[in-house]
Structure 1
């Protein structure tokens, strides 16, 4: 049997919202596999299906920049939040975001791009690591563009102009003026930051994610004791509900909690007297999907000084 630690139980509890004993049982039942334990909790109805990775621990900044009908989001990670507040680090993220706006969203191309002060992006990042004394990683970059219309940016809880923990871009294809598209895009971008859609529309949802949801829904439905025909309908209904709740266009906008985003766009188009299409979006949340190892600071200091730690 796997050794289930208190840290594992705590981590699962934070990710799932389930009780401590339920998390411990889930880990025991799944041999300590965190993903399998999460699925076990959801199968038993003990974890929220829409629990998102909003409690990730990685630090750094997300940079957002827009020029005309093109926008870009960049994530640069650091080990601590102290570095994210450092002027040198913030300047680097801002400069790299501006370069990405020109060069595009291929990460290798961006790393090889020259910087104004000399050296490539990757070389300057390496120098910054030596100067600041903390590891830093240029993690990802993504662009959004439209042929006509606007790309609207939004940074949640900005640490500085264009820099923050969550960055969003919304692409609106239209001949409407910026006076129409900017407030509409800002409203949608704020929704994206809060609601964490998984895709623009239901067709865009990842097939592996859908299959995983189907497996969970099938196991839950089978426990109902219903006939196979009813179980199949229950599973189909669960998948339709999941798709509707996680596709941006079908999500109820957070501002009123009931109007689908697609209808918000349609109303804006009707009021403007011209077509408006929400074509793409990006949502970068700092550290999303990254797990940082918990450390005992006192133990690290003691180890560095050669002082042995007392045993319990």
Structure 2
């Protein structure tokens, strides 16, 4: 019996079109790592609510990921799934919902993401007192941290263990915290936890300065990239579009143009999984070659684009990279 049932199936059947692009990208990912390269993975959309952690956590544990960029929603939603999974509600007929149906979900405290409803009370509120404890403790000690660092502290404190409702091995945030892997979270304020933090600032219970900013994320990333881009360099594996990818990829032209570091390497691998098609002014749908003109990719950087649903494609690529 094959020890790599998923990988073998992919190699046998995924021979053309987007399927072939998936295989090429996965093989390119493995080649990049085998040659000593490091990989950034960026998460947009609702990949944590899609339970990507079932494969992504193992990618982190096996050192297939060196650094992550994600939206504030993905940062928190993995932990929400960890502590409130049994309270999630699936709505398979979501396309048929009326405005009244949507209102009824709201009144039940269910916030819908396509066919999956996040339980507000059990998810957000279960975390709120624990994360506030981290925020307030830092402020009282005169300390400041980045958004993900507070979440790492909360996870590693053990405060949430009593609430775990899934196998903790399937939480990518917990795996990342245990590895202390760097995370970039651009636009963190545009998240539920960001809104909660803002509410405490409005009420005068916290100061905005207790939370480090997006600019501080970029300065951290710039320093990290300079230290990690020698040799084979750093690859860029982008799941979806948006700020999770747009923000970190710009570190290279910033270092080259604004810091005048004319020897800084380009990203040395690029793959994007997206169902956004190329159109007028669409950045998420832009083909990788457009990034050459912005000083992000080199002419000979391996480039892949898989135009498909990331919730289907990303776990398959990860399974291939992991040799499943």
Please say whether Structure 1 and Structure 2 have the same fold, judged by a TM-score greater than 0.5. no
Structure number having the greater strand percentage: 1
Give the structure with higher Rg (CA).
1
TM-score, normalised via structure 1 length: 0.31
TM-score, normalised via structure 2 length: 0.30
